Structure 1
Amino acid sequence: MVFKEITPDDYIGALPEERQEVMQKLRKTIKKNLPKGFEETIQYGMISYVVPHSIYPDGYHCKPSDALPFISISSLKNHIGFYHMGIYSDPELMQWFTEAYTKLAKGKLDMGKSCVRFKKMDDIPFELLGELSSKFSVDQWISKYESELKR
């Protein structure tokens, strides 16, 4: 049996129609704002933006064969998920984001450690997520990641 590796286009194409447009817009927003060097892929069943092994050969400490994750987006049963490892690891960035969110976004922030959940597609603050996507270069993310590992 031959297995085809899923692509971000495959991921979005398999979603219900009402989710495809939103996920495509979110993907476009991230790609437009993400600094050079990150690579789009599918990782952990989500569309992900990672530091490829060609830049960071050590990979992700939890599973070194995986590239170092940075941002992921997913469409789950009850919400769209936006995962940003930088807000999980950088308290100043977390503070900036939560303050900006309350000023710019509709509704209450629904957030876990690194995941922002959007139950209503109309409530996604695309511009804010784009700005958040631009906040770390690849080198800055690697440096932050390594400093957190050493703690």
Structure 2
Amino acid sequence: MYDEVAGATRAARDEGRAGNLEASEARILDTLRSLRLRRVEINAMAAQYRASAQAERSQINKRGRAVGHLVGRSSFGYAVRGGMERGRGNARARLAQQDADVRVEVEKLKLSFDDLVSQVRQELTFIKEARSKHR
């Protein structure tokens, strides 16, 4: 993403120096559109991950319920139920850690994305000022 923005910015600056400010502005606007589409993709991927995590969470909660009801409340039943609950607890903890890791990575991606968008907007402002001075 950084390389794509840097390349487009270099090309836009080169076009601007050559006197073709309209093409330079069009290139920067295309880059901005491309970044917006990437942001939509990032948000969609995050939503898809959250939905799959919720489905897995519900599967974890269902795991072993039927067996727990079958063995009853005898001492054997308590041992079986306790073991199953520990397994569910470990699975929930693993899923929670995975969720936290994914959230951190998505937030890092969004921050870097916001930085790129601000750089492109600054470049667009520079080009518009150059166009107004050129007229």
Query: What TM-score, normalized by structure 2, do the two folds share?
Result: 0.25
More helix per residue: 2
Structure with more relative contact order (C-alpha pairs < 8 Å, separation 6 or more): 2
More strand per residue: 1
Query: What TM-score, normalized by structure 1, do the two folds share?
Result: 0.22
Tell which structure's C-alpha radius of gyration is larger: 2
